Structure 1
């Protein structure tokens, strides 16, 4: 969990990034960072807090993940709509947002955790997949895509 706290950036760091992008005339980065700051403040307000307060690291991570998922969905939509120019722009924005997210785990690391939890919980069939999924996702703590984890768990349970 400490890795997430180090990677997440406070509102002040976002503002510093905005100032740096302004000085460097990096319009794409500026736009993305302003969007992240806006999403950050909107999250504060939606939780009934004042805009000048800070989010917890978990709340902050959720904001950044939501923004990244929106970009991923947009890329898919633009690719299927035959708009590669817009898809490329969204991918570039996604790369900037990824700087604020913890590094993704490899499939081998995920598989290792799944097998460890499967043995700990003594799970051998798909009936208890939800229990295994919950335990694995709790340990992974936002460092892997849930759909990938689900698919890997299904594969492991079906092959055992």
Structure 2
């Protein structure tokens, strides 16, 4: 089942269950997906692929994490809780992220595989990580690990 079909099926279930918060988040996801599809039309793409949808979902989660931090700074716990609930719904559609040990192992493997020896080779290592583990690896966490591995 494609992600688009999952969104629709989950929307129907949440509407039947009367879960307005989940329904609202799913509607937001579907609206963002429609915007993404429209943005891809000039490239000759009618509907974006699942990989692009996953990237879109990761962006939505990232922006919500930033909002949570700002709401906490502004002493607005009710708004932070709402954003965290949205994060939980969105993350349910994302593949499981690698834990720290698996991320460190993937970085070490990529360094060996690419033959990287200095910080100048960081781009090659990151490209290798992205090619192999794009769905399950948080590149923002992998970057500093790669830098540390190549620096010393």
Match of 1:158 in 2: 151
Q: Which residue, out of 104, 107, 120, partners 1:111?
A: 104
1:155 positional shift: 2.2
Q: How does 1:83-98 map to 2 (within 5 A)?
A: 83-98=76-91
**TM-score of the aligned structures, taking structure 2 as reference length:** 0.88
Cα distance in 1 between the residues matched to 2:47 and 2:66: 28
**TM-score of the aligned structures, taking structure 1 as reference length:** 0.84
Match of 2:40 in 1: 47
1:54 positional shift: 4.0
Three-state SS of the structure 2 residue aligned to 1:55 is coil
Cα distance in 2 between the residues matched to 1:95 and 1:17: 14
Q: Which residue, out of 101, 106, 124, partners 2:117?
A: 124
Cα distance in 1 between the residues matched to 2:110 and 2:36: 33
Three-state SS of the structure 2 residue aligned to 1:48 is helix
1:59 positional shift: 1.7
Match of 2:138 in 1: 145
Deviation >4 Å, runs of 4+: none
Indicate whether 1:26 and 2:11 are aligned. no
Cα distance in 2 between the residues matched to 1:56 and 1:121: 28
CA contact (8 A) 2:118 2:151 kept: yes
Cα distance in 1 between the residues matched to 2:80 and 2:120: 39
Match of 2:93 in 1: 100
Cα distance in 1 between the residues matched to 2:140 and 2:55: 16
Cα distance in 1 between the residues matched to 2:50 and 2:78: 34
Larger relative contact order (Cα-Cα within 8 Å, sequence gap ≥ 6): 1
CA contact (8 A) 2:95 2:136 kept: yes
Cα distance in 2 between the residues matched to 1:80 and 1:146: 26
State the Cα RMSD in Å: 1.8
How many pairs does the alignment contain? 149
Cα distance in 1 between the residues matched to 2:38 and 2:115: 43
